[in-house]
């Protein structure tokens, strides 16, 4: 179920998620506003509820913190590798052209990498911590966030 307590791992993940997004607000792709206006309201509700719940749950359960290294730790290692790929995807975007195609593109075989990589990373983090509340929160977020990104991708094609 989870043990209440501060999670420094959750904080690190949230910083890895948030910092590039804050930088992105100054580097949005041309034409983004026109596709964002067409967002499905239900997907947007899922995304917002998921964002709030993932943020809270990632911070308040100490189960995500690093314990003794064992076979179960592979979930955390893979999760962190996915977060590193997420960071590399942002570097690719910031160094390249700031286009919708680039923003919604694939990276290292992951479609819509900007949405799929952090969702997968947080899902694996929930497995590592054995916290069902994060799993549920990530699924809600994933439905909204990935759904919105897929909608945007369809709109630009």
Q: What is the pTM of this model?
A: 0.96
Domain residues for the domain of 116 are 8-156
pLDDT 10s digits, 59-73: 999 999 999 999 999
Mean pLDDT of 97-120: 96
pLDDT 10s digits, 111-154: 999 999 999 999 999 999 999 999 999 999 999 999 999 999 99
**3 within some domain:** no
Over 90: is that where the pLDDT of 43 sits? yes
The burial of 37, by beta-carbon neighbours within 10 Å (0-12 exposed, 13-18 middle, 19 or more buried), is given as exposed
Mean pLDDT of 47-60: 98
Instruction: Return the sign of the alpha-carbon dihedral for residues 130, 131, 134, 138.
Output: positive
**1 within some domain:** no
Over 80: is that where the pLDDT of 1 sits? no
The domain total for the chain is: 1
Mean pLDDT of 86-100: 96
Mean pLDDT of 86-96: 97
**111 within some domain:** yes
């Amino acid at each position: 179920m989870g043990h209440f307590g501060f999670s420094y791992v959750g904080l690190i993940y949230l910083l890895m998620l948030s910092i590039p997004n804050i930088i992105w607000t100054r580097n949005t792709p041309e034409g983004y506003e026109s596709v964002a206006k067409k967002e499905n309201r239900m997907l947007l509700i899922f995304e917002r509820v998921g964002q709030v719940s993932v943020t809270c749950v990632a911070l308040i359960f100490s189960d995500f913190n690093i314990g003794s290294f064992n076979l179960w730790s592979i979930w955390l290692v893979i999760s962190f590798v996915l977060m590193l790929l997420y960071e590399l995807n942002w570097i690719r975007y910031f160094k390249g052209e700031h286009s919708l195609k680039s923003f919604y593109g694939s990276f290292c075989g992951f479609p819509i990498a900007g949405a799929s990589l952090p969702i997968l990373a947080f899902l694996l983090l929930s497995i590592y911590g054995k916290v069902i509340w994060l799993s549920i929160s990530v699924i809600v977020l994933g439905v909204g966030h990935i759904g919105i990104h897929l909608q945007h991708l369809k709109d630009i094609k």
